[in-house]
Structure 1
Amino acid sequence: MNKYAIIDVEGNQLRVEPGRFHDICHFNYKFNLYGINTKLSMNRVLLVCDGSNVHIGSPWLVNAVIKGRILHSSFREKLTIRNISSKKKTLRIDRYNENMIRFTIDSIDFNRRNESTL
């Protein structure tokens, strides 16, 4: 039985499974205020698949919650942006690191009993 869900995080769709860790850039929370093992709960769930049962939301599932915790915050590899002006024969190089968090999924909860049908 393979259980997974597809969630919406900051406009990106992410496939999550219990027990795995995932990395997210530009997450909405202020992670300097929160520490390691801070619990998360996400309710913007687009799809839940439990074996052969697939539940699709329109746009989100009402009674689905993804529970997890923050492992740590880190930086992605330094990105380099090169701006070349050919007429002036100049090169400008900008570098920056993207903030990133790593979190793990503890459980996928879906209560189908209260789900409204169309």
Structure 2
Amino acid sequence: MVYAVVELGGNQLIIEPGKFYDVNYMHASPGDIINLNRVLLVAQSNNFSIGRPCLNNVIVKARVLRHLKGKKVTIFKVKPKKNSRVKIGHRQKLTRIFVEKIL
């Protein structure tokens, strides 16, 4: 089993080849192949490679499948005794990527 820890969009993800992940919005068209080069760790069976901070010789190839929006989050702010109420909704823009291989 091969997996890697990748830093992407300010978040760290544990990824495996052949699976898809929803990450923060990326400026790439659906169908594009992107290289994720901020690889922090790679594990192959019992062999671990840890970068300080990144591994320079490892690249993860991923394909952009589509862009979508996350679940709606409702923010409701109340200031007591001031009769102030604010209701705001937010949907995060996401990009679905499919990890093809870890090189």
TM-score in terms of structure 1 length: 0.83
Partner of 2:23: 24
Partner of 1:74: 68
Determine what percentage of the aligned residue pairs are the same residue. Answer: 32
Deviates more, 1:59-68 or 1:85-94: 85-94
Greater fraction of residues in strand: 2
Partner of 2:3: 4
Task: Give the letter aligned to residue 3 of structure 2.
Answer: Y
| TM-fit CA distance, 1:37 | 1.6
Deviates more, 1:86-95 or 1:13-22: 86-95
Distance 2:35 2:71 in 1: 28
| TM-fit CA distance, 1:90 | 2.8
The superposition leaves residues 19-40 of structure 1 with CA deviations (integer Å, 9 ceiling, x where unpaired) of 0011112x4x324xx2x22101
Partner of 1:115: none
Distance 1:101 1:10 in 2: 11
Task: Give the letter aligned to residue 11 of structure 1.
Answer: G
Q: Structure 1: where are the runs of 5+ without partners?
A: 110-118
| TM-fit CA distance, 1:63 | 0.1
Matched, 1:83 2:77: yes
Q: Is the 8 A contact 2:9 2:23 kept in 1?
A: no
After the TM superposition, which segments of 4 or more aligned residues of structure 1 sit over 4 Å from their partners?
none
| TM-fit CA distance, 1:12 | 1.0
The superposition leaves residues 27-69 of structure 1 with CA deviations (integer Å, 9 ceiling, x where unpaired) of 4x324xx2x2210111100000011110000000010000010
TM-score in terms of structure 2 length: 0.94
The superposition leaves residues 52-87 of structure 1 with CA deviations (integer Å, 9 ceiling, x where unpaired) of 110000000010000010111100011111110111
